[in-house]
Structure 1
Amino acid sequence: MFLEKLLSGIMEQRWRGGRSDRSLTRGRSPRQPFQFRRLMGRYDAANTTLDNIKHWSRADGLSAAAANSPDVRKTLRNRSRYEVANNSYARGITLTLANDVVGTGPRLQMLTADPNANRFVEQEFFYWAESVGLAEKLRTMRLARVADGESFGLLTSNEKIEARVQLDVRLVEADQVASPTLALDRQRYIDGIQFDPDGNPVSYDVLREHPGDVAFLRDDEHDTIPASAVLHYFRCDRPGQIRGIPDITPALPLFAQLRRFTLAVLAAAETAADFAGILYTDAPANGEADAAEPFEPIELEKRMLLTMPGGWKMAQMRSEQPSTTYAEFKKEILNEIARCLNMPFNVAAGNSSGYNYASGRLDHQTYFKSIRVEQSQLGRVVLDRILHAWLREAILIEGYLPNSLRALDSTFEHQWFWDGHEHVDPAKEANAQKIRLANHTTTLANEFARQGRDWEAELKQRAKELALMRELGLPADSDAHSSTDTEVTDDEDVQQAA
């Protein structure tokens, strides 16, 4: 109303000053107020009809924190854990995903200006990671994110570790990070996590006992742990989301359908196999056929001839299960289940019989890209913080680290190497790699990084091998200078190199 009155006054002033716009006042008296018409736009998906009212009946406008309430997350966790524990496909998918993301564990490469200090830190951190079982704990955290939606790691001290730095990572389930019963309602305190005015976590309340433990009696006994000592690993799907939900949440109903369909097909096949045969007659009711008791079982002997009552015939029960669509249904529902994890069907099913080489490679591209994204998040959220805590502990040990790394406020440049993905055809991949290096479209660092290896360490090891081979009188470089080297002419190799 205010805007209409304002524009109406402007138009009246223009008319009085002899500057009225004829295009705007055409068809109205000069003193008539200017009127607006509201443009009405419409989306089909925003219309509620009799056909879609039931489908959209559960749509809500809850925030990310309200939608992922403790009760909702508890229900999702329990159901996803049950499915992973009892469904072979669910178990295999989660294990495959954790093994592909973490593999045998990350390798550290320091990038500071002191090469000797870099090698020392890399070796000591590797020895510490083996002592605490870091790779196993990372795989457990990835498995927990699939079934629980999130995983927590507490940075603690452990005197039993056989390493100079006695830092340890203790994993706790999402059930233990919760608001205790006697906790007072405070501002910016949500679901066991205290936040500062900028939205950064300040502390976490961790229950001393698991709520599902048999010995659990009270949920008010807890420890408040600063955020600097807590690793919270989850996927944030919505702005404002502070807790995670299981990765397989959209697939939980599909897992249930898959199990029910399989059991129903098996039950139908078993029911048909339980009957050796049936008696039937073509005669009408109360016809000329001899009397026979309905549903009366007849005991049969092996390899014997039988005489049937007059007018009756014997036939074997024909099994209609499994139907011709059984395998196709399982394939489609598994493909839909794996889609929420960016996993191709042949990886989820463990079966590539319907794939050729090209389609298998194409489907894996999206999967491998998703794995690289997850490895980047795991490195930033978990590994970088573990390395920072390890360095802080190592600096406190007198004479342990080199002098160039004994600064608490230093930023240590580094990177993480993960297991590479093996090529189906190693010969073609080697030829493509040779072309890329020859036309300078790649580097040794990139090529070794594809395999999850440190290029400096590999070249040093290769130099040692060549030196020893020359010392022993072996033809160390015969392959490099051989005149029998062949040039790559395969079009597919050239495409891979490009």
Structure 2
Amino acid sequence: MLKRLSGIIEQLRGRSHLPPNASGRSPRQPFFSRLRAKYDAANTTLDNMKHWSRADGLSASSANSPEVRRTLRNRSRYEVANNSYARGITLTLANDVVGTGPRLQMLTADDAANRFVEAEFFAWCEAIGLAEKLRTMRLARVADGESFGLLTSNERLNTPVNLDLRLIEADQVASPTLANDSARYIDGIRFDADGNPTSYDVLRHHPGDDFFAYEEEYNTVPAAAVLHYFRCDRPGQIRGVPDITPALPLFAQLRRFTLAVLAAAETAAEFAGILYTDAPANGEADSAEPFEPIELEKRMLLTMPGGWKMAQMKSEQPATTYAEFKKEILNEIARCLNMPFNVAAGNSSGYNYASGRLDHQTYFKSIRVEQTQLARVVLDRILTAWLREAILIEGYLPNSLRTLDSTFEHQWFWDGHEHVDPAKEANAQKIRLASHTTTLAIEFARQGRDWETELKQRAKELALMRDLGLTIESDESDSSPETEVTEDNAEESQSQQAD
């Protein structure tokens, strides 16, 4: 054993002079070289050669080159413009993410200043149509892969703050014709040594305009005035690709299959009937010209040539698998957007209550993630720009907010998602509050509302009802919540907490 171990050590050191063994392999070769770990997915065979022929090792910026992104944008825009499912999916996603628009809640120590800023910022959002622009930005991210917004000044706004948000398409943010891309200047975006964007080159006209020229002039906009909204899937990615990129071939397949089924059904319907004979070739039957059309009149009794019969064409379309095919391919299309099938198709006929809620959990979680990104990339920067402009207006903001030396604490509220059964939701909410497993702030936030604003409004209503002598129902139940907990609402409460 010691002799064998000594020989192995000599092999590892490369000083063994032993002759080759019976297998022909030199003993100087380390013994562990016989163990080779491999992956089936890394093997290239005749069966998978074509499938993996397009795989490459390009970087994120090279893979998403301007030419590639331009092609993807054009094709995704075409599908969204001409495919009803694609249009409905993108509109539903934008409406669910943005809804009627975000609402600001300031969290500084000065309550009066908080209420003033919230009211003034809401009025400014309504004046510039911020909710509509946010929905447009989300729609653009689906079809274009990214959206750009420029913080500009608009003197025609009927608000003290003249800040405005102007949206531009991704085509306009590009390198000028004579500008060469480099390590710090890629596709119209200039970066500093730390990888932070410092400026954007924006073409003055869209490349798709009829009067656009290749020597078109451009504006260099500082990064502080540009909002770039896209999803980063790879480290080092600086430009976005359409969210529906993986589904573009599937949309084409759905269109082709639908047109093929429709064409087959129309072809079968165009033939009123056919003449056929059971007689063998050269048998006894009157002569008939093959493929000769015969005009038929309504409610007429016809006689056939001798030996010939008439039969109606059987329509084999649509195929029995047509509906199943559409369901499966729509499910695959919506998967890249984390959208359940019943939302993408607008049809929940095959769902029960439990499966519908289970599918929506992943969808709602994805929406919360997108709302967080939208708040960080777009809304927080808009609020900071608005406050900077408001500070410059003499006597406009309260004194406690006339400095940006410290970050003002705030949060954004979005539209809540309606429950299928409001009674069960209210009962589950009551149980959670009674067991102190939630707070009013959390419960109101689920509905996209500010708990302080709602409680103040409720107090005003109760005070007015007392003044008018109206009956006020007691908020306390006659029996304790513990005695009202049944098996059904307990399970509902657990499912609500899981959401």
TM-score range, shorter chain: over 0.9
Name the aligned partner's letter for residue 435 of structure 1: I
**Pair 1:47 & 2:28 matched:** no
- Which residue in 1 is equivalent to 2:360? 364
Residue among 64, 72, 75 paired with 1:76: 72
- Which residue in 2 is equivalent to 1:14? none
Alpha-carbon offset, residue 217 of structure 1? 1.9
The answer to whether the 8 A contact 2:175-2:181 is kept is no
Identity between Structure 1 and Structure 2 (%): 81
Q: CA distance change for structure 1 residues 28 and 136 in 2, over 3 Å: closer, same or farther? A: closer
The answer to whether the 8 A contact 2:274-2:310 is kept is yes
Segment of structure 1 superposing worse, 85-94 or 182-191? 182-191
Q: CA distance change for structure 1 residues 29 and 66 in 2, over 3 Å: closer, same or farther? A: closer
Q: In structure 2, what is the Cα distance between the partners aligned to 1:332 and 1:29? A: 62
- Which residue in 2 is equivalent to 1:415? 411
What TM-score do the two structures reach when normalised by structure 2? 0.93
- SS of 2:228's equivalent in the other structure is strand
- Which residue in 1 is equivalent to 2:83? 87
Residue among 456, 475, 481 paired with 1:480: 475
Residue among 159, 163, 173 paired with 2:169: 173
Please show how residues 98-497 of structure 1 align to structure 2 within 5 Å. 98-476=94-472, 478-481=473-476, 483=478, 488-497=484-493
Q: In structure 2, what is the Cα distance between the partners aligned to 1:273 and 1:330? A: 23
Q: In structure 1, what is the Cα distance between the partners aligned to 2:382 and 2:430? A: 37
User: Cα deviations across residues 71-102 of structure 1 (Å, max 9, x unaligned)?
Assistant: 00000000000000000000000000000000
Name the aligned partner's letter for residue 56 of structure 1: W
- SS of 2:366's equivalent in the other structure is helix
Alpha-carbon offset, residue 22 of structure 1? 6.1
Alpha-carbon offset, residue 130 of structure 1? 0.2
Name the aligned partner's letter for residue 179 of structure 2: A
The answer to whether the 8 A contact 1:150-1:235 is kept is yes
- SS of 2:88's equivalent in the other structure is helix
User: Cα deviations across residues 87-122 of structure 1 (Å, max 9, x unaligned)?
Assistant: 000000000000000000000000011100000000
Number of equivalenced pairs: 477
The answer to whether the 8 A contact 1:205-1:222 is kept is yes
- SS of 1:291's equivalent in the other structure is coil
- SS of 2:445's equivalent in the other structure is helix
Alpha-carbon offset, residue 433 of structure 1? 0.2
- SS of 2:148's equivalent in the other structure is strand
Residue among 19, 25, 28 paired with 2:6: 25
Segment of structure 1 superposing worse, 226-235 or 405-414? 405-414
Q: In structure 1, what is the Cα distance between the partners aligned to 2:9 and 2:103? A: 79
Q: In structure 1, what is the Cα distance between the partners aligned to 2:416 and 2:185? A: 42
Alpha-carbon RMSD: 1.7
Alpha-carbon offset, residue 425 of structure 1? 0.1
Segment of structure 1 superposing worse, 403-412 or 137-146? 403-412
Q: CA distance change for structure 1 residues 196 and 24 in 2, over 3 Å: closer, same or farther? A: farther
Segment of structure 1 superposing worse, 486-495 or 467-476? 486-495
Instruction: Give the ranges of 4+ consecutive aligned residues of structure 1 lying more than 3 Å apart after TM superposition.
Output: 21-24, 26-32, 34-39, 184-187, 481-490
Q: In structure 1, what is the Cα distance between the partners aligned to 2:372 and 2:5? A: 59
Q: In structure 2, what is the Cα distance between the partners aligned to 1:136 and 1:146? A: 16
Segment of structure 1 superposing worse, 290-299 or 126-135? 290-299
Q: CA distance change for structure 1 residues 325 and 397 in 2, over 3 Å: closer, same or farther? A: same
Q: In structure 1, what is the Cα distance between the partners aligned to 2:209 and 2:216? A: 15
User: Cα deviations across residues 248-273 of structure 1 (Å, max 9, x unaligned)?
Assistant: 00000000000111111111111111
Name the aligned partner's letter for residue 460 of structure 1: K
User: Cα deviations across residues 296-317 of structure 1 (Å, max 9, x unaligned)?
Assistant: 1111111111110000000001
Q: CA distance change for structure 1 residues 186 and 69 in 2, over 3 Å: closer, same or farther? A: closer
Q: In structure 2, what is the Cα distance between the partners aligned to 1:285 and 1:431? A: 80
Alpha-carbon offset, residue 218 of structure 1? 3.3
Q: In structure 2, what is the Cα distance between the partners aligned to 1:93 and 1:27? A: 65
What TM-score do the two structures reach when normalised by structure 1? 0.93
Q: In structure 1, what is the Cα distance between the partners aligned to 2:3 and 2:465? A: 96
User: Cα deviations across residues 156-195 of structure 1 (Å, max 9, x unaligned)?
Assistant: 0001111111100000000000000022555410000000
Name the aligned partner's letter for residue 475 of structure 2: A
- Which residue in 1 is equivalent to 2:25? none
Q: In structure 2, what is the Cα distance between the partners aligned to 1:26 and 1:304? A: 104
Q: CA distance change for structure 1 residues 423 and 488 in 2, over 3 Å: closer, same or farther? A: farther
Name the aligned partner's letter for residue 363 of structure 1: D
Segment of structure 1 superposing worse, 214-223 or 153-162? 214-223
Q: In structure 2, what is the Cα distance between the partners aligned to 1:32 and 1:482? A: 86
- SS of 2:275's equivalent in the other structure is strand
Name the aligned partner's letter for residue 266 of structure 2: E
Q: In structure 2, what is the Cα distance between the partners aligned to 1:210 and 1:296? A: 57
Segment of structure 1 superposing worse, 87-96 or 482-491? 482-491
Q: In structure 1, what is the Cα distance between the partners aligned to 2:174 and 2:235? A: 21
Alpha-carbon offset, residue 216 of structure 1? 1.0
- SS of 1:164's equivalent in the other structure is coil
Alpha-carbon offset, residue 368 of structure 1? 0.2
Q: CA distance change for structure 1 residues 315 and 26 in 2, over 3 Å: closer, same or farther? A: same
Alpha-carbon offset, residue 285 of structure 1? 1.6
The answer to whether the 8 A contact 1:203-1:225 is kept is yes
- SS of 2:484's equivalent in the other structure is coil
Q: In structure 2, what is the Cα distance between the partners aligned to 1:23 and 1:121? A: 83
Name the aligned partner's letter for residue 33 of structure 1: R
Alpha-carbon offset, residue 220 of structure 1? 3.6
Name the aligned partner's letter for residue 133 of structure 1: G
The answer to whether the 8 A contact 1:211-1:219 is kept is no
Q: In structure 2, what is the Cα distance between the partners aligned to 1:184 and 1:43? A: 41
User: Cα deviations across residues 296-340 of structure 1 (Å, max 9, x unaligned)?
Assistant: 111111111111000000000100000110000000000000000
Segment of structure 1 superposing worse, 402-411 or 240-249? 402-411
Q: In structure 2, what is the Cα distance between the partners aligned to 1:217 and 1:73? A: 21
Q: In structure 1, what is the Cα distance between the partners aligned to 2:253 and 2:207? A: 30
